[in-house]
Chain A
Amino acid sequence: MAPNAAFDIDTRNAERVPATERWINARDLIDRCMGNLNLANRVLARFRSGLDEAVQQLEQMVEAADWGQACIRSHRLRGEAGNVGCRHLAELASQLEGACVRGDGESARSSLKALAKACGEFQQAAPSLPDVHAESAKKTNAILHATFRSRE
């Protein structure tokens, strides 16, 4: 599996960063939420609550060799994971999507296995955003205020 550059950095520095940083690029998520921590947590919680079902659906689709539906669902999961800053999951979903597009059963099953494993680990590792992310939110807000001030 080709490593995702951004995620790879987190993996190499795993001992020096909080566990959640290995899975979520919090700064990315909070920036996308314009510094609104409540929104970030809500979006993340929604993503987590739908993740297991998404994996189950994908397993059924791949087993049935329903490549069309599997392609659509994996594409959507890729987008959802990207939105919440879960680049690793987004990358894995992207690999599954590619296999489904090609109709490559062996590759799809292998990608799905890796995705399911990573999703399980993510669910265990990702609680709601800790304080370090609140600090990120403050920084984001400061940048936004500076941006708007410069336009005035």
Chain B
Amino acid sequence: MNILVADDDPQICELLDHALSSFGYSVTTARDGLEAFELLRSGKFRILLTDWQMPGLTGIELCELIRKQDAGNYIYIIVLTSHSYLDSVVCCLEAGADDYLSKPFRPAELLVRIRAGERLLSLESRELTIFALAKLVESRDDETGCHVDRMRDYARILAEELAQDKDFSGTIDGRYINLLYLTTPLHDIGKVGIPDQILRKPGKLTAEEFAVMKTHTTIGASTLEAVTAVHKNAAYLVMAREIALTHHERWDGTGYPHGLSGSSIPLCGRITAVADVYDALTSKRSYKEAFPHERAVEIIKEGSGKHFDPRLVSAFLRCAKAFESRSWRLKEQGASSNLLDRGDQGQISV
């Protein structure tokens, strides 16, 4: 990790450089705010430790400029200050700093604050990586533009509604909802293993082609399982694997790939199924126009106890308006177009 230290005092620069280098970081120093800003433009630095009072640009002005630019990767900013008054701390944070460190600094405190920054940056990287993978899959399919953007929003809306239900409140908490939002976009990651002539075929698939298409669930699950096995700190992908594997299972056991039924289908898979089908119904496909929201709601209602968990359908009906408004908002942002999730072929009763 490269850390940029900005301070006009060579003494503090030397001390910080030595302490951070001892902790294993690579350190570059800038003697004023302008030099720091120029160095940040290289894109090499994700963490900035900056003094409050400097010639050129003060630390506060530097924070404001970095946040105003808002380009490239997020930069975690820690302001070094001997101003220990509450007003000064508020001023730092308002200017866009993430944290502050009082001078004279203590190496142990410096280390924990840097590590807090690293944790935040790794979360950002994790989210971006997952979403980038999902978008990569989406890009192979001409007709699923912005499907994953809507999917994760729908899944979150439904999970938030379910969290109010006593049957689910013990399972669904804020952490569960965040994880669901993070991993739902990977539900179709297995489509990377589906040949183009099937994935991009206009019109209805043959039975053989549909059999191949159905393997996107197992391909996705195997891929995510392999990643989880190698990288133990990627435990969050366990939910992604369950979603990829089970989002085409049906409550009555007629889904695929394993014909699971009822509560043996993981909850995250059941939630994703509702979100996935709602999006497929309300989006235009090569063989149908987009259904109005009301018609989609009716179809999901009819699928209660057959395609979907009845309790999830009840929750969906309670928050259906939120689905509709989210759908309009995202489609108005240019996400609208022809949508086709071929994994649903023959599965949705339309």
Contacts and interface: CB of A to CB of B under 8 A. Distances in A.
Interface of A: 28, 31-34, 36, 39, 42-43, 46-47, 72, 75-76, 78-80, 82-85, 90, 144, 147
Interface string B40-79: 0000000000000100000000000000000000000000
Q: Which 8 A-B pairs have the closest CB atoms?
A: A82-B104, A34-B22, A83-B104, A79-B82, A79-B103, A34-B19, A43-B11, A32-B15
A31 B107 contact: yes
Contact of B53 (A28, A39, A72): A72
A43 B19 CA distance: 14
Chain B interface residue number, banded: 10 to 19
Interface in B3-50: 9-12, 14-15, 18-19, 22
B15 A82 contact: no
B22 A78 contact: no
A121 B10 CA distance: 25
Interface string B90-103: 00000000000001
B9 to A, nearest CB: 6
Nearest to A143: B108
A83 B10 CA distance: 12
A60 B82 CA distance: 24
A83 B12 contact: yes
Contacts, number: 53
A33 B82 contact: no
A33 B15 contact: yes
Chain A contact residues: helix, strand, loop or mixed: helix
Nearest to A42: B14
Contacts of A33: 15, 18-19
Chain B contact residues: helix, strand, loop or mixed: helix
Nearest to B80: A79
Contacts of A80: 9, 11
B104 A28 contact: yes
Given A32-B104, A82-B82, A76 B22 contact: no
Given A32-B104, A34-B22, A39-B14, 20 more contacts: A31-B106, A32-B15, A32-B19, A32-B105, A32-B107, A33-B15, A34-B19, A39-B15, A43-B11, A43-B14, A47-B11, A75-B53, A76-B9, A76-B53, A79-B12, A79-B103, A82-B104, A83-B103, A84-B11, A85-B104
A85 B104 CA distance: 8
Interface in B78-134: 82, 103-108
Contacts of B9: 76, 79-80
Contacts of B53: 72, 75-76
A81 B22 CA distance: 23
Nearest to A43: B11
Contacts of A36: 18
A112 B31 CA distance: 28
A79 B18 contact: no
